[in-house]
Every structure is written in structure tokens, then in C-alpha cells.
Amino acid sequence: MVRSPVHDSTREACLSLDGVSRPEALDCVVSAVVTAVTARRAPRDVATTRRGRAEMALARHAPSLADRVVRRTVAARVTAGAFAKAPLAEGLRRRHGRAD
């Protein structure tokens, strides 16, 4: 995720990915894109950071573990009230016992 105005609407709807996705530096993203488009062979996956490479590897090689990590992160955000004001997240809150 790159911080940009494209995320303003989700923030306004109280559905922000803040706390779930870590923002990445624009220069790292641009560098990754340039590297990918100028590669002799198109790379399968392109990450912009070391952490991103690790996350992609985890998702590819241990998908059930990646799923548990994501579920736990989302559950923690729901418990913290991150989506309490978002009408679109009603079902998510209900599934986590937080039908506030």
C-alpha cells in the first residue's frame, strides 16, 4: 500500500487498511515496477520490500499459516473497534461477536 488519496474513501467509510497493510515508500514501489518491466523475463511476483517478499513466500509456501495470521490481525482490529462505525462491516463485526 502506498499512502495516496485513493485510500481516502475507505478511511471515510471507516474501512481503512491502516494497521493491516503497512504503507510502503513510493520510491521502493517505483523501483520495483521499473525492475519488473525492464527484466528480461517477467518475474512471477514482485515485492517492494524484504517484508513483502517474506509475506509472499509465506502465502505461497504456508497458506494456512498466512490465513491464520490474517484472521488474527483482522480479529484484533475488529476487537479494537476499528470497523465500529462502518455500516459495510456489519457482517464482519457480527461474525466476530461485535455487533455493536
Question: Could you please report the per-residue DSSP string of 8-45?
Answer: HHHHHTT---BTTBPP--HHHHHHHHHHHHHSSS--S-
pLDDT at 69 (0 to 100)? 92
pLDDT at 11 (0 to 100)? 82
pLDDT at 82 (0 to 100)? 85
86 Rama sector, left if φ>0, alpha if ψ -120 to 50, beta otherwise: beta
Chunk the chain into consecutive blocks of 10 residues (it has 100) and report each block's average pLDDT, rounded to whole numbers: 81 78 86 93 88 91 95 90 88 83
Q: What pTM was estimated for this model as a whole?
A: 0.69
Q: How many residues does the chain have?
A: 100
